């Protein structure tokens, strides 16, 4: 992936304001280069850390300035009633590194913005846009350490020294067939001796997908020994359920993740 620190040291020189404003600008530009496109809210969350009336205003002002300087283009998303922005060719040149796919500009991504990528970007913002994480766009552009694993492509990937956190963005209800594939995939991944994946996160971004936790719990819980499931699978499933899965729900207003308990509390 692109070397961020090198980029930030060179891109910071003699380009617009210095100090805090320059830092905000650089962080917004880097975020845009990684996400492909972003909403005002996403930028506010990434650059200022949290969504407040103040951070939203600052984000709006920064977008106005960058747009005046023709570093970004703005598009109003009539569906979601929000501004979406992406880098222009001038904006890409402003950065001292290439954007995913070595594209000249990010206009096409903005024009063909789709709900799933937008949701992935919101989740990326919500987990704090980590430098050791990879966006959906970066994964598609094969800049992540993992393009796919056992026929499954991650929506987001966080790769720190302790292993990978594989993030699935649950933006629609999974069909029974698709869900079964996920279960088989989980078993395959966590049956490996040295699986690079430490945890799999399921992040609910739409009400329609909110039952994913219950479905996983049901599928991976085997109370009856006589149901024909081999002991190894029962133990593997129990381990997956207790150690390797986390369910989160995205709050679209604050762009924060709320944990969803996976194990029903014993009453």
Partner DNA sequence: TGCCCGTATGAAAAGTCGAT
Partner DNA sequence: ATCGACTTTTCATACGGGCA
Q: Which residues bind DNA (CB under 7 A)?
A: 70, 73, 88-90, 93, 101, 103, 105, 107-109, 111-114, 116-117, 140
Residue 202 CB, nearest distance to DNA (Å)? 20
- Identity of the residue, 137 or 216, whose beta carbon is nearer to DNA in the bound complex: 137
- Report the sign of the C-alpha dihedral through residues 169, 204, 209, 266, in that order: positive
Cα torsion 53, 58, 63, 69 to 10°: value is 160
- Identity of the residue, 112 or 264, whose beta carbon is nearer to DNA in the bound complex: 112
- Identity of the residue, 102 or 224, whose beta carbon is nearer to DNA in the bound complex: 102
CB contact at 8 A, 157 and 196: no
**DSSP sequence for 53-114:** HHHHHHHHHHHHHHHHTTSEEEEEETTTTEEEEEE-HHHHHHSSSPPGGG-S-SHHHHHT--
- Identity of the residue, 144 or 220, whose beta carbon is nearer to DNA in the bound complex: 144
- Identity of the residue, 82 or 140, whose beta carbon is nearer to DNA in the bound complex: 140
CB contact at 8 A, 103 and 137: no
Query: How many CB atoms lie under 10 A from the CB of residue 70?
Result: 12
- Report d(CA 140, CA 156) in Å as an integer: 10
Residue 188 CB, nearest distance to DNA (Å)? 26
**φ, ψ of residue 95 in degrees (nearest 5):** -75, 150
Residue 70 CB, nearest distance to DNA (Å)? 5
- Identity of the residue, 20 or 114, whose beta carbon is nearer to DNA in the bound complex: 114
The tokens of 261 are what? 């308990």
Residue 89 CB, nearest distance to DNA (Å)? 4
Helix 212-220, helix 231-239: angle, nearest 10: 150
Residue 91 CB, nearest distance to DNA (Å)? 7
Q: Report residue 32 CA to chain centroid gap.
A: 13
- Identity of the residue, 42 or 55, whose beta carbon is nearer to DNA in the bound complex: 42
- Identity of the residue, 90 or 214, whose beta carbon is nearer to DNA in the bound complex: 90
Residue 180 CB, nearest distance to DNA (Å)? 24
Residue 23 CB, nearest distance to DNA (Å)? 24
CB contact at 8 A, 246 and 203: no
Residue 254, H or E segment = none
Residue 177 CB, nearest distance to DNA (Å)? 21
């Amino acid at each position: 992936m692109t070397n961020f620190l090198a980029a930030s040291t060179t891109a910071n020189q003699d380009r617009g304001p210095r100090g805090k404003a320059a830092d905000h600008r650089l962080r917004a530009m880097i975020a845009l280069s990684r996400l492909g496109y972003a909403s005002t809210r996403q930028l506010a969350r990434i650059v200022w850390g949290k969504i407040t009336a103040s951070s939203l205003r600052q984000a709006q002002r920064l977008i106005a300035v960058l747009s005046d300087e023709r570093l970004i283009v703005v598009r109003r998303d009539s569906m979601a009633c929000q501004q979406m922005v992406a880098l222009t060719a001038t904006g890409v040149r402003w950065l001292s590194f290439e954007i995913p796919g070595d594209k000249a500009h990010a206009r096409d991504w903005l024009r063909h913005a789709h709900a799933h990528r937008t949701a992935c970007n919101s989740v990326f913002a919500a987990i704090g846009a980590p430098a050791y994480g990879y966006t959906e766009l970066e994964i598609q552009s094969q800049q992540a350490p993992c393009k796919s694993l056992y026929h499954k492509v991650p929506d987001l990937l966080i790769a720190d020294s302790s292993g990978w956190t594989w993030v699935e963005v649950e933006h629609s209800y999974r069909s029974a067939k698709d869900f079964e594939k996920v279960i088989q995939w989980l078993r395959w991944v966590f049956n490996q001796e040295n699986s690079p994946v430490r945890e799999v996160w399921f992040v609910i971004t739409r009400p329609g997908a909110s039952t994913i936790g219950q479905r996983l719990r049901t599928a991976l819980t085997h109370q009856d020994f006589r149901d024909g499931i081999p002991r190894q699978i029962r133990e593997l499933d129990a381990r997956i359920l207790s150690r390797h899965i986390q369910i989160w729900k995205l709050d679209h207003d604050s762009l924060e993740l709320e944990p969803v308990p996976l194990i029903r509390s014993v009453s």
